[in-house]
Amino acid sequence: MTAKITLYTMPGACSLADHIALHWVGVTFDVVKLDHAAIKQPEFLAINPAGAVPVLKVGEWVLTQNMAILNYIADRFPDAKLGGDGTPQSRAEVNRWLALLNADLHTSFPPLFGATAYLGEDVANKTKEIAKARIRSLFERLDAQLTGRVWLTGERSIADPYLFVVMRWAFGMKIDLSDLSNLNAFFTRMSTDAGVQAAMAAEGLQR
């Protein structure tokens, strides 16, 4: 019997990327939907002491860190070809863009989510401005990369759902991306994708 796969997610959080990837590979899995309070409770901290999603449970094995989870999904279900075309170069390209999304872009958002509020209003506002400028410049690079491409690395990969997630955050934070036409076309394509829609519906998200 194959081990049961369970994804711990929070609606619209970075775990939505894993949720979409699991739909894309076509595996049967369970979803545990949590909120901010639940991920800080002892029950969840016993699973992930960081008190963060995503968490992927495969049988009794617990995997954390989004890049590791997405790479695991790609490797475990190679027929879906979400980790490149099998060459080291294509895999490196997938991880290059995944790293930009996870390590550079994702980590630029916390000031906008209130993480620097403890610095007082003036300084916190300044950190928000700096974060917005950095986010905008990273999205410009992503838009340029999408020139002539339907997917970030040419072929659909585990990087694409992550890009969709951070674009949703940018829209939520009213960061103007309206002139970045490649990104907007990408977002529209993703929004009509069956796997994206299934994951969104399961997380109770509209758009």
User: Which residues of the shown chain bind ligand GSH in the complex (CB under 6 A)?
Assistant: 10, 13-14, 39, 51-54, 65-66, 102
Report the residue number, 116 or 122, with the smaller CB distance to ligand GSH: 116
Report the residue number, 115 or 154, with the smaller CB distance to ligand GSH: 115
Report the residue number, 63 or 155, with the smaller CB distance to ligand GSH: 63
Smallest separation (angstroms) from ligand GSH to the CB of 147: 27
Smallest separation (angstroms) from ligand GSH to the CB of 129: 22
Report the residue number, 71 or 102, with the smaller CB distance to ligand GSH: 102
* 186-194: long-range pairs with CB below 8 Å, 24+: 186/146, 186/150, 186/151, 186/152, 186/160, 189/150, 190/160, 190/161, 190/164, 193/20, 194/23
Residue nearest to ligand GSH (CB): 52
* 61-67: long-range pairs with CB below 8 Å, 24+: 61/3, 66/14, 66/15, 66/17, 66/18, 66/102, 66/162, 67/95, 67/98, 67/99, 67/102
Smallest separation (angstroms) from ligand GSH to the CB of 86: 25
The whole-angstrom separation of Cα 62 and Cα 108 is 27
Smallest separation (angstroms) from ligand GSH to the CB of 192: 24
